[in-house]
Structure 1
Amino acid sequence: MKMTWRWYGEGNDNITLDQIRQIPGIHGIVWSLHHKTAGETWEAEEIRREAELILSKGFSVDVVESVNVHDDIKIGLPSRDRYIEIYADTVRKLAAVGVKVICYNFMPVFDWTRTNLYYPLPDGSNALFYEKASIAADPYEMAQMIIRGGGKFTIPGWEPDRLARLDELFAAYADVTEERLFENLVYFLTKIVPVCEECGIKMAIHPDDPAWPIFGLPRIVRSQETIRRILQAVDSPSNGLTFCSGSLGTNPANDLPAIVREFADRIPFAHLRNIRVFDNGDFVEVSHKTGDGSVDLTELVRALHENGFDGYVRPDHGRHLWGEEAYCRPGYGLYDRALGAMYLQGVWDGLENARIAGSQGGGIVAGTE
């Protein structure tokens, strides 16, 4: 297991690479060119500069998150082939600097969705919160909440220009059913996966967050069955899954350890975090510690370990702790994610030590004097 850290770039992230270096065990930086919009060309020189900066601090650049997929591809418009060609060009350029995994999603209009970015928790911290009844009401209200922020913060994964184009986007997706969205994903993968196979890169699709349709828009990466269908449709090691415990864990019907065990050989990257799911469908982010939430992270790490996982992991959304100013990027502060990284590595180390002791016939030996 290679521990990584998502970083939004110099001047775009209030956490520095030098601070990240002080967190034990961080192998690599999960990065991107965050100023690029979906469908925009990534220039080789821009990629090289970002990669060299990260490498100069002793980190790997193996994982990029995200190269966003243009809406024309998701909708299935005739212009999609041009945008797929641009995407393939980016894949080749990223491979040239050593990238091995590209995390992406295929969610229409909205990326991960929450209703409160600073929900107060009993311990005095605050975290991302999802109120199901609010989401069922009106997508424009949520967009206005973000716009009213006055530029104080951004939601990671979102493209800001989308907020001003909601009417246009909803109209464009009006005829996109779940089946059609799936077909458009398969079309995209059929074109991109051969390029990835040539370059030694694995595409790793991120599950929908939350793991059900919202605002009448289809979502197709939300369960063991839907993941199986996607991986079977383009059956290649280069067509993989970003296993996200927090996204899939929003639906208590999902058996997360079973998902890990079935698709272990197709998971090059994992986001590990904990959430507490309430009986009414609301959920809130909590600490990574097993027992603090509804996700058994210890069992998930065990499932990865038992299946010989040697891919990349990062601690996902964290709480805002100790007065931390995380208002520029909710959920992506320094302290709680650092605690999460250490907790996950501690679970892994315990499992690895037990494996080594077992293979050597070790154990507690009682003796006499």
Structure 2
Amino acid sequence: MKMVFRWFGDDNDTVTLQQIKQIPGVEGIAWALHDEIAGDEWPMDKILDVKKKADQAGLHIHVVESVNIHEDIKLGLPTRDKYIENYKKTIAKLAQVGVKVICYNFMPIFDWLRTDLYREASDGSTALFYEKNRINNLDPFELVDQINANSDFTMPGWEPERLQHLTSLFNAYRGVTSEDLWDHAKYFLDEIIPFAAEHDIKMAIHPDDPPWPIFGLPRIITSQEHIRRFLDLHDSPYNGLTLCSGSLGANPDNDVIAMVHEFAERIPFAHIRNVRVFENGDFIETSHRTQDGTVNITGIVQAYHENDFTGYCRPDHGRHIWDEQCRPGYGLYDRALGIMYLWGLWDAYQQASSYQGKKV
């Protein structure tokens, strides 16, 4: 298991590379050019600037999260070929600087959804929160205004350039079914996966967050069955999965441990985080500790260990603790605590394996 830490850039993150380097076991960053519009080819000078800064901090840039997919590709419009060519050009550039994995998603319009960015817990910490009934009766434009009110940081998947066209996007998706989205995903994979393989970069699809349809928009990466179908669309080790325990774990019917065992060889990147799901379908993001949520983090890490996982891993969304002022879900303190919890589990399984081997 190779540990990385998501970083949004010098002027877009309260966490510094020097702080990341001090977290035990962290080797690199999961990064992106967050000021680039989805569909545009990434400029080489900006890529090299990130590499230079990471190199100076002693961190690698093997994982990119994310190279966003233009909506025309998801919609299957004739213009998609232009944006797919730009995607290929970006892949070729990323290969030149040593990138090994690209995390991305295929969610229409919204990359993720929460109703509260700072819901207070009983201990005084705050965290991202999803209120199911509110979403069922909420105007998406109201939610956009709420997210954009957090103007200090760009919110991945909620870029103003994209959301200013919200009305036209909803109109474009009217009548688009989940089967249409599957067809459009296959078209994208058939173009991208052979090209990514030539450049030795693994594409790793991120599950839908949350893992069910919202605002009438189709979603296709929501369950073990759907992930199996997606990986079968292009049977290649370069068509992989970013297995996010928090996204999938928001639906208690999802067995994340079983997914680790089934898809282990197709997981180049893992997000490990916890959520607490309530009986009414609401959920809040918690510490990474198993007992604090609904997701069996202990069992998930054990499953990775049993499958000799050598891919990249990071803690995902953390709480906001100790009065830290930070991007929602992406502070330093709780994610650093999460890393140490994950390492504690991993080291314990390593030690147990070593002990069992000696007894034999």
Moved beyond 3 Å, runs of 4+: none
2:32 alignment partner AA: S
CA contact (8 A) 1:302 1:351 kept: yes
1:189 alignment partner AA: L
Equivalent-residue separation in structure 1 for 2:277 and 2:148 (angstroms): 28
CA contact (8 A) 2:8 2:31 kept: yes
2:98 alignment partner AA: G
1:170 alignment partner AA: F
1:205-354 map, 5 Å: 205-326=205-326, 329-354=327-352
TM-superposed deviation, 1:104:
0.2
Partner of 1:76: 76
TM-superposed deviation, 1:153:
4.1
Partner of 2:62: 62
Partner of 2:28: 28
Partner of 2:141: 140
SS in structure 1 at match of 2:161: helix
Partner of 1:177: 177
Give the % identical residues. 59
Larger radius of gyration: 1
Equivalent-residue separation in structure 2 for 1:58 and 1:233 (angstroms): 38
Matched residues, number: 359
1:276-335 CA distances to partner (integer Å, 9 max, x unpaired)? 000110000000001100001010000011011000010000000011112xx2110010
TM-superposed deviation, 1:53:
1.2
CA contact (8 A) 2:34 2:156 kept: no
Equivalent-residue separation in structure 2 for 1:55 and 1:218 (angstroms): 41
Gaps of 5+ in 1: 363-369
TM-score between the two structures when normalised by the length of structure 1: 0.96
Equivalent-residue separation in structure 1 for 2:7 and 2:148 (angstroms): 23
Partner of 1:365: none
1:144-163 CA distances to partner (integer Å, 9 max, x unpaired)? 212344x2344234222222
Partner of 2:353: 355
Equivalent-residue separation in structure 2 for 1:162 and 1:134 (angstroms): 23
Partner of 1:123: 123
TM-superposed deviation, 1:50:
1.0
Equivalent-residue separation in structure 2 for 1:62 and 1:251 (angstroms): 30
Equivalent-residue separation in structure 1 for 2:272 and 2:22 (angstroms): 20
CA RMSD of aligned residues (A): 1.0
Partner of 2:50: 50
SS in structure 2 at match of 1:291: helix
Equivalent-residue separation in structure 1 for 2:262 and 2:159 (angstroms): 33
Gaps of 5+ in 2: none
